[in-house]
Amino acid sequence: MDFQDNLMEEIQTWTGEGCTPTGRSGHRISCTDSFLFCVGGYHPAHGPLQDAWRLNLSTCEWEQLSDASSTPAETVSHCLVSTKDELLVFGGTSYPFGSSIGVDVSACDKRTGEWRVLECQGEAPPALYGQASRRVGDYVYTVGGTSGYHFSLHAHALHLPTGTWSSLATNALFKGEEPSGRYRAEIGVVPGRIVVAGGAAASTVFPLDETMMFIFPPSPSLSLPRVLCHNDVGTPRGEVGLSRKTSLPRHGPHIAYYQPRPVHAANGCLYVYGGLSSIGSRERSQSLFRARLDAPPLLEAAWESFASHCPTISTPMPASVTPAITTPTTLDFLAAGVPRRLIQRLAKLNMEQTKRRGNAFST
């Protein structure tokens, strides 16, 4: 039994519209308790995939949020973070890679698929793609990226309530001892630290069993901390620094990606979607895999069992089929004791399709 057999299970997905997302690489995904969102990507036969999708994690049904008519053009190796109501996209490139790089922060409504451009100010990141990003509270942090020729380790933060960018670290601060820039890395943010894991440069792939750590104390006089760089891990209290390497335990990749609410995770599960089928291949995967990182809460375990055994939820029904009178409704679910916040996970984008399938999915 190999590594994947031990940890990963493949999730079978479907769509009531007869169209599922094209296999892709260079995309980004983000999860909530209810949905997995996928934006952009690339396929050699189709070029840049200028679209956005959401997958209902209870029913495993795909729905298309937006197409090329409204999705930003630079959605290959972009940044994607999630707020309560919107997906935020910035950076990214189109094709040929590096020929066009997105500089705006665009927001997609999670329910309607409508896009808008946020008004931002301050010290914005340079035009790069492949940055690592993470939202923590009111801030979005971003590290690294590439212009297509130069690989950076710039670090910036966006204050969402005011739309203000601030620079945390630039190449000029490294004073001739700049560590290797990278793109397509991942970051974790804890108070006073940004941890960078993985990623690649032109001819280098950085291992996941070593991490890089920005260390910076908060300052009452600054709206955001700033970073200077030292080569040593043992930075004296009150100073700031960059730890070159921090070794993780043998199973470090799992620890590095496990945060309370990581970009790729929901309800204690890590989701992996798409990517290259093999190194150098022109094929792109459409498969979705899930790894359980922790035992689910009892409520989530009960909901998963309920959703998988209720025919109205778990079985795809053609639009031509009229549901029987006995099809359960929202009121039936409520009467059975199902919490309303769980029933709301069944909400669909297309209300006409909802009506065809009865009101069991209405909220």
Q: Which letter does DSSP use for residue 344 in this model? A: G
Distance in angstroms (rounded) separating the CA atoms of residues 167 and 278: 37
72 prior amide bond cis, ω within 30: no
Residues of the chain scoring pLDDT < 70: 1-6, 171-179, 217-266, 314-327, 350-363
Q: What percent of the chain has pLDDT over 90?
A: 46
pLDDT of residue 349: 85
Set out the domains of the chain in order of their start, with CATH numbers.
Answer: 3-190+250-292 (2.120.10.80), 298-361 (no CATH)
Tell me which residue of 33, 35, 28 sits closest to 56, measured CA to CA: 35
pLDDT of residue 237: 37
Q: Cβ neighbours of residue 250 under 8 Å, at least 6 residues apart?
A: 209
The counts of H helices and E strands in the chain are 7, 23
pLDDT of residue 354: 34
pLDDT of residue 94: 95
- 239-273: pLDDT as tens digits: 444 555 544 343 333 322 222 223 456 678 889 99
Tell me which residue of 259, 321, 289 sits closest to 134, measured CA to CA: 259
- 115-148: pLDDT as tens digits: 999 999 999 999 999 999 999 999 999 999 999 9
What six digits make up the tokens of 188? Answer: 């974790």
Cα–Cα–Cα angle for 186, 188, 189, nearest 5°?
A: 140
Q: Are strands 35-39 and 288-292 parallel, antiparallel or unpaired?
A: unpaired
For 107, 165, 211, 262, the CA distances from 121, given in Å and listed in that order, are: 16, 6, 31, 27
pLDDT of residue 158: 96
Q: Are strands 121-122 and 132-136 parallel, antiparallel or unpaired?
A: unpaired
Read off the pTM. Answer: 0.82
**Token pair 């050699």: residue:** 44
The chain-wide mean pLDDT, for the chain, equals 79
